[in-house]
Structure 1
Amino acid sequence: MKRFHRLGLAACAALALSNLQAEACTRFVYETGTGGYIVGRSMDWMADPETDLWSFPRGMARNGGAGDGSITWTSKYGSVIASFYNVATVDGMNEAGLMANTLYLAESDYGDAKASGKKLISVGAWTQYALDNFATVAEAVEALSKEPFAIVAPVLPDGNKATGHLSLADKTGDSAIFEYVDGKLVIHHSPKYTVMTNSPPFDQQLAISTYWKNIDGLDFLPGTINSADRFVRMSWALNATPKQKEEPLAVASAFSLIRSISVPLGLASPGKPNIAATIWRSIGDLGAKRYYFESAYSPSIFWVDLDKLNLAAGAKPARLDLSTHPVLSGEASARFAPSEPFPFLAQ
């Protein structure tokens, strides 16, 4: 399903103004000079969401974390993920090279889950469900379009409501964005959908971006940290960035893109409590199955090679504890320690 509206300048401005209190996460898909794909994202939040990295093996018995009536499944693929308050999976890559990123969307409306008659899943488990079950975007779109569950969105530990939209990308460059608007699932599926931010919903973001395509980005681009402006700037920068053939340079280019759109640590805006600083950034090299992580609290980058994690059925879940903001560099798979998996955000 794809919805598209053309907006005039006045409508674009109104949408941008209405977005002043949106979260500030950004996601993009970068094509390298060798036909590979790298996904980058920023996690922007009002406070440190106490993110840890986790490795989850294939063969894990799962449930949706929504109490009675929750959907259950067994993971087909192992994954490395970034948690959110250790009650939700918000980012990660599986061993098939599928990348999943969840970003805040204030307009999310999942409908009345209990009245739906469907199995239930916490929004905190939505991203993990995709990573556990699918190898490609097309496979995920086919399965999720049948709506095998209804999403429950509880309140986060920090008091904010858990509302978000999900993006998926695979090593072929395919991309899809899943949103619930007015209680209905809307799926935007195309390799063309290489950028996602927050509010407004994606069809309106596309319309705003279409207007700005008529403006030469070398002369002028919208400059605020608001979601609509970041969508435009990232779209322009992504198209302008050379497709690098050497992997280190391609990864460096992806980091330069996500840093260029990030929000300074500690930034606060009186009267706009949801304008948020960038807490961390991740880069996923889908072909190499390598997950890079950069904390805004640390001066260094580290990465995890999925092939070096024990993701075999029967292996124990493991955690890389980032609670003390350690300064890590290089390949970090050996630093994961066996740990009981966190429960998904309950009702």
Structure 2
Amino acid sequence: MKKVTFLKAALAFTTVFLMATTQTSDACTRVVYKGPKNTIITARSMDFTIPIPSNLWLFPSGIARDGSTGANTVKWTSKYGSMATSSWDIAVSDGMNEKGLVANMLWLVSSKYPEFQKDGKGKKGLAVSLWAQYALDNFATVAEAVAQLRKEEFVVVTDFIPGTDKFTTVHLSLSDATGDNAILEYINGKLVIHHSPEYTVMTNDPIFEEQLAINAYWKGIPGNIFLPGTNRAADRFVRASYYINAIPQTDDTRVAVAGAFSVIRQCSVPYGISTEGFPNLSTTRWRTVADQKNLVYYYEDALSPNAIWVDLKKLDFSKNGKIKKLALDKNQIYAGETSNQFVESKPFQFQGI
């Protein structure tokens, strides 16, 4: 058994090395902290080679949406309200809904999505820009999301990021207020779902199964003696896995949130860094920390002097609530709890095909 694990790890190391030296992608890290008394906190970093302007959006329940794939598209009405982080105001890449479900989209070069037929002969489509928002709108728990998404009633459809040569290839992580987790990937056109409360860490390439093999290898080496220190996805996965369990496990919210922030900062990429021969190592642009027990969403921009946070309990997620935005895309500076600084706004248009 140990020999098989080692061989898998060796293969995964080779894969991630080859991808790092031959392909251009972007890097992120996601980690879930589990403390006593149902203290669950999900933290993530957004690492990208180019600036990725973001805003915070309040989406109430009762919003009628479609998958932005033309006539052959999935349609739904949001069951839950959510706090979401947009990217270029064409996609939602991160967020938490009013039930404490968190969705994070991270880059995965290995992604290969199913074929989509716009003529209506195949399954309905969902633009990748809406993948995270679909989960936030429709599900309260990971188990509920997994049960529904396994039915594959639609296919995720992707395209190039406007104005770039970057083809959007991502995988999706879900976590909830009970500490349950799921990782969703499209590999060779097939949906692969990894579902377990133990899946508390995710980075980028290689695929999640190989990330687990790499981590299993490193568990045999005490983290307080040696940890891999590069910015590569495999190394960040190992460090995040070690540190999220090494920090104090507490129900003191102030300490727990600080701990989650410290881990995601430790796994971030310094601003402006570039490594010759490794084009997929990208500057950390922003970080979020979602306190799923207390429903507080923290946001930290790399160019801002401080983090801000939003208490979701102070927002109106009812069907009578308004869509609102906290503008962050022009380096606006705020301080502290900012729920009262959101401004009613027209919703942005999700990128479709």
TM over 0.5: yes
Give the 3-state SS of the residue equivalent to 2:133 in structure 1.
helix
Give how far 1:67 is off: 1.6
Match of residue 292 from structure 1? 298
Structure 1 residues 216 and 19, CA gap change in structure 2 (3 angstroms) = farther
Q: Does the CA-based 8 Å contact 1:108-1:163 persist in structure 2?
A: yes
Match of residue 129 from structure 2? 124
Matched, 1:111 2:136: no
Match of 1:258 among 243, 261, 264: 264
Match of residue 18 from structure 1? 18
Match of residue 44 from structure 2? 41
Match of residue 282 from structure 1? 288
Structure 1 residues 192 and 10, CA gap change in structure 2 (3 angstroms) = closer
Matched ranges for 1:175-190 at <5 A: 175-190=181-196
Matched ranges for 1:182-331 at <5 A: 182-331=188-337
Structure 1 residues 300 and 14, CA gap change in structure 2 (3 angstroms) = same
Q: Does the CA-based 8 Å contact 2:299-2:309 persist in structure 1?
A: yes
Q: Does the CA-based 8 Å contact 1:22-1:199 persist in structure 2?
A: no
Matched, 1:167 2:170: no
CA distance in 2, matches of 1:284, 1:73: 25
Q: Is there any run of 5+ residues in structure 2 with no aligned partner, and where? A: none
Give how far 1:22 is off: 4.4
Q: Which shifted more, 313-322 or 51-60?
A: 313-322
The aligned amino acid for 2:142 is V
Q: Does the CA-based 8 Å contact 2:12-2:211 persist in structure 1?
A: no
CA distance in 1, matches of 2:36, 2:247: 11
The aligned amino acid for 1:192 is E
Q: TM-score, normalised by structure 1?
A: 0.96
CA distance in 2, matches of 1:139, 1:93: 15
CA distance in 2, matches of 1:287, 1:123: 28
CA distance in 1, matches of 2:125, 2:16: 34
Give the 3-state SS of the residue equivalent to 2:235 in structure 1.
helix
Q: Does the CA-based 8 Å contact 1:16-1:229 persist in structure 2?
A: no
CA distance in 1, matches of 2:277, 2:218: 28
CA distance in 1, matches of 2:66, 2:310: 26
CA distance in 2, matches of 1:105, 1:232: 17
Q: Is there any run of 5+ residues in structure 1 with no aligned partner, and where? A: none
Matched, 1:147 2:152: yes
The aligned amino acid for 1:138 is A
Q: TM-score, normalised by structure 2?
A: 0.94
CA distance in 1, matches of 2:16, 2:229: 11
Match of residue 89 from structure 1? 92
Give how far 1:9 is off: 5.7
CA distance in 1, matches of 2:174, 2:8: 30
Q: Which shifted more, 327-336 or 97-106?
A: 327-336
Give the 3-state SS of the residue equivalent to 2:44 in structure 1.
strand
CA distance in 1, matches of 2:56, 2:345: 11
Query: Residue by residue, what CA displacement relative to the aligned partner does 1:195-242 show, whole Å, maximum 9, x if unpaired?
Result: 000001100100111111111112211111011111111111112111
CA distance in 1, matches of 2:210, 2:160: 27
Match of 2:66 among 63, 68, 93: 63
What is the root-mean-square deviation of aligned Cα atoms in Å?
1.6
